[in-house]
C-alpha cells in the first residue's frame, strides 16, 4: 500500500486564494458557489494520484482564464511556483476579454491535449469530468433547459466533450478518462432518447 499524500500549508493557502479569487462567481445559471467546482476538481486529481502541485492546480485551474489573466498568473507563480503555473496555463483556453470565438477556442484546446504534460492532462481531464457530471445531473433534473446555460448549442457541447474523450484517449488510457467517457456516453444516450 502506498503512503498517503501529505499536504502542506501551501494547499491551505491555495484553497483560501481560490476562494478569494472566485468569491463572486457561481456555476453557470445556478446559485452554487464556484469554489465547489474547484474543490471537486482538486479532489478528483487527488483521487487519481495527483501530487500536491497538481491538486493546487486543480483549485486554480480557472484562475488565469476567469480572474485576471497575466496579473493572476504572476501571483500564482509568486505564491505557488513555476510548476503550478505551468499546469494552470495548460488548462487555460483563453485569457483575453472578450474571449475568442467559442469553436476556435475549443478546437485549439482539444489540439493541445496531444502535447500537454501528464500533469496538465490530469487536471484538465478532472475538470472535464466534473463539468460533464454536472451537465448530466442537471440534464436529468431540468432536461433540455440545461443547454440554455451555455454559449454553445447542445450539439456543439456534446461534440466538445466527445472530442475531449477522443483526444485524451489518443495519449492516455486511465481510469479517469474511462470515467469521463462513461459520463459523456450516458449524456449522449439520454439526449438521443429525448429527441
Q: What is the pLDDT of residues 1-38, one digit of tens each?
A: 566 778 899 999 999 999 998 888 777 767 788 899 99
- Are 191 and 139 a contacting pair, CB within 8 Å? yes
Within 8 A by CB and 6+ apart from 122, the residues are 45, 48, 49, 50, 54, 176
Q: Say if pTM beats, i.e. exceeds, 0.85.
A: yes
Return the axis-axis angle of helices 69-80 and 52-60, rounded to nearest 10°.
160
Cα distances from 182 to residues 31, 106, 168, 179, in angstroms, run: 27, 21, 14, 5
Q: Where are the domains of the chain?
A: 9-193
Q: Which CATH number fits domain 9-193: 3.30.360.10, 1.10.3720.10, 1.10.3210.10, 3.90.440.10?
A: 1.10.3210.10
Instruction: Tell me how far apart the alpha carbons of residues 124 and 114 are, in angstroms, rounded to a whole number.
Output: 12
Q: What is the pLDDT of residues 116-143, one digit of tens each?
A: 999 999 999 999 999 999 999 999 999 9
Q: What is the pLDDT of residues 153-182, one digit of tens each?
A: 999 999 999 999 999 999 999 999 999 999
Amino acid at each position: 500500500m502506498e503512503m498517503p499524500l501529505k499536504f502542506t500549508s501551501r494547499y491551505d493557502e491555495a484553497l483560501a486564494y481560490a476562494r478569494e479569487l472566485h468569491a463572486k462567481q457561481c456555476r453557470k445559471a445556478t446559485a452554487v458557489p464556484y469554489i465547489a467546482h474547484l474543490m471537486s476538481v482538486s479532489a478528483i486529481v487527488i483521487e487519481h494520484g495527483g501530487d500536491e502541485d497538481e491538486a493546487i492546480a486543480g483549485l486554480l485551474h480557472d484562475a488565469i482564464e476567469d480572474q485576471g489573466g497575466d496579473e493572476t498568473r504572476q501571483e500564482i507563480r509568486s505564491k505557488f511556483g513555476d510548476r503550478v503555473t505551468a499546469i494552470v496555463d495548460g488548462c487555460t483556453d483563453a485569457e483575453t476579454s472578450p474571449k475568442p470565438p467559442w469553436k476556435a477556442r475549443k478546437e485549439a484546446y482539444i489540439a493541445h491535449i496531444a502535447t500537454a504534460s501528464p500533469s496538465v492532462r490530469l487536471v484538465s481531464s478532472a475538470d472535464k469530468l466534473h463539468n460533464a457530471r454536472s451537465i448530466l445531473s442537471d440534464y436529468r433534473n431540468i432536461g433540455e433547459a440545461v443547454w440554455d446555460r451555455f454559449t454553445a448549442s447542445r450539439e456543439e457541447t456534446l461534440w466538445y466533450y466527445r472530442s475531449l474523450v477522443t483526444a485524451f484517449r489518443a495519449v492516455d488510457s486511465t481510469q479517469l478518462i474511462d470515467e469521463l467517457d462513461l459520463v459523456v456516453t450516458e449524456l449522449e444516450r439520454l439526449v438521443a432518447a429525448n429527441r
